[in-house]
Structure 1
Amino acid sequence: MREVMSVVYSRLAVPALSFSVHRHPFHRRLCFRHPLTPLLRINHFTAVANQRAEATALSPEHSAQTATPVSDDSSFPILQPLSSQQKEQISLYIRTLLEWNQRMNLTAVMEENEVMTRHVEDSLAILPPLRRSYMSHCQSSTFDVLNVVDVGSGAGLPGLILAIAYPSWKITLLESMKKRCLFLEHIVSQTGLSNVQILCERAENVGQCIGFRELYDVAVARAVAEMRILAEYCLPLVRVGGLFVAAKGSDPREEVKSAENAIRLMGASIVELCTVESHSPRGQRTAVICRKDHATPKKYPRHPGIPTKMPL
């Protein structure tokens, strides 16, 4: 029996089955698929003290309290629309990522400029096609207030960068590895972002949780899995009428074609493949954009590990 449980936090009991990200932005919740597999949501307005203490204890000795600014706009023109504060947050993110990377495997990149080109620019590059598709296909007149989930967020890419670029968005970073979630908790605290929450759980479990299923306007995924698997991870989380955006390489047509059945089974359709403006050394990038047309059947996503072992 799948249900949303309430917990007591700061002497405030939240009624069961009343979950809403928008109505209760300050509550920490537990959603149980099974009594032994809790789904932990960390809301960064009210993250518990022992989690912050653990993050501090395991962070590098010389934590990035300050960071040198990113290179000037002439080197990275995609940064031009950002404010000085947003650029400082990106600098701090890059510095902290590289420092933590000395202790845990967060990225293969070792230089600040390479993090900019391979990760930050690559993440920001999906924004123009996302805006165009959302305004065209989602019957919405606004792009400034979205509820977005980054599935398989890893080191916070692209979700944390999107949270910096759009502070009016609500961003959920969904990551199953606890060590990476610890890094995400730390960097969100360091950058002062108030529009980010972290879910430390597998996408298959979150997709079957009533508090998160078909909740989000947009789901994004970057460097997580092939499209057949991503469709089952992401689309159950997207509301009917919302979008799923997968950041892919230069020519994902064969991969997308093999995923058409999985996308259809999830209640969605492919609306476009967009070449994105990215200066990544990996070359041209593509955003695969799908629209959620119908509710996802209740049997999806399947149990953890099944989408990878038996792709649709």
Structure 2
Amino acid sequence: MTPDEFYALLATFDIDLSDQQKTQFEHYFECLVEWNEKINLTAITEKSEVYLKHFYDSVAPILYGLIENQPVKILDIGAGAGFPSLPMKIIFPQLKVTIIDSLNKRIKFLELLSQELGLEQVELLHGRAEDFGQNPAYRGQFDIVTARAVARLSVLSELTIPFLKKNGRLLSLKAAQFEDELTEAKHAIAILGSKFEKEIAYQLPNGDERHIAIIEKKKETPKKYPRKAGTPNKSPIK
């Protein structure tokens, strides 16, 4: 996917990028490739692949009407090189984005990237989701939590749901079908005070399948969750 093809596809969803936004995406790509030589950010570095599998894929929640250009608080868990939250931030500048990542080198990259792109209201936090999830400054504070290829739903639910406000939503972006994951995670989702709402299935322009699982928080998460760092992955809620 060339940049022009990317812009044209967005236009079919009534999203017309300004010259500034196009420049931001181009500079994002340049910074990603430059920094990827220093730290491992992504295995995908060819321009057409970055625009397709990182930029276009990341903005799917916008394309399918799950996020609007409003000052909502979005938390991105394990964003790595900033996906999916920063491409969405470029398109919808009003979004208030917080990113948590456990690797400080990635946070340093994201700090530089945000400055280079002129992105405001982006908060970058180095640490574990389990620790921040017990911090009153972040627990129960977000309208939306996004996660892209971070963990199975049974684990991801515990890492993300505690951050949501009541009626907030977890958007889990998956490459493959997740019916088995959902069956495995339903009990954990309920214990954490949430409910699976629906799935959006779609294809990238090259035919690759993608899915977004939408989970809504219905009531407060019990205080014991999330458990200490590492525990959700070693011992998912059954």
> TM-score band, normalised by the shorter chain?
over 0.9
Aligned to 1:310: 235
Structure with bigger helix share is 2
Q: Distance in 2 between matches of 1:108 and 1:76?
A: 26
Q: Return the letter of the residue paired with 1:125.
A: A
Matches within 5 A, 1:34-49: none
Q: TM-score, normalised by structure 1?
A: 0.71
Aligned to 1:173: 99
Aligned to 2:169: 243
Question: Residue 72 of structure 1 aligns to a residue in which SS?
Answer: helix
Matches within 5 A, 1:65-104: 71-73=3-5, 77-78=9-10, 80-104=15-39
Cα distance, 1:173–1:88 mapped onto 2, change above 3 Å? same
- Residue by residue over 1:216-246, the C-alpha shift from the partner in whole angstroms, topping out at 9 and shown as x without a partner, is 0000000111111110011000000110000
Cα distance, 1:301–1:130 mapped onto 2, change above 3 Å? farther
Q: Distance in 2 between matches of 1:189 and 1:299?
A: 37
Q: Return the letter of the residue paired with 2:106.
A: R
Aligned to 1:301: 226
Deviation at 1:144, TM superposition (A): 1.7
Q: TM-score, normalised by structure 2?
A: 0.93
Aligned to 1:148: 74
Q: Distance in 1 between matches of 2:28 and 2:231?
A: 34
* Identical-residue share of aligned pairs (%): 34
Q: State whether residues 231 and 263 of structure 1, in contact with CA within 8 Å, keep that contact through their aligned partners in structure 2.
A: yes
Deviation at 1:130, TM superposition (A): 4.9
- Residue by residue over 1:92-131, the C-alpha shift from the partner in whole angstroms, topping out at 9 and shown as x without a partner, is 1111101110111000012111111111010011223352
Does 1:122 find its partner at 2:62? no
Matches within 5 A, 1:211-230: 211-230=137-156
Aligned length: 233
Unaligned runs of 5+ in 1: 1-69, 135-141
Deviation at 1:311, TM superposition (A): 0.8
Q: What's the RMSD between the two structures over aligned residues?
A: 1.7
Q: State whether residues 149 and 175 of structure 2, in contact with CA within 8 Å, keep that contact through their aligned partners in structure 1.
A: no
Deviation at 1:159, TM superposition (A): 1.0
Q: Distance in 1 between matches of 2:3 and 2:167?
A: 38
Unaligned runs of 5+ in 2: none
Aligned to 2:117: 191
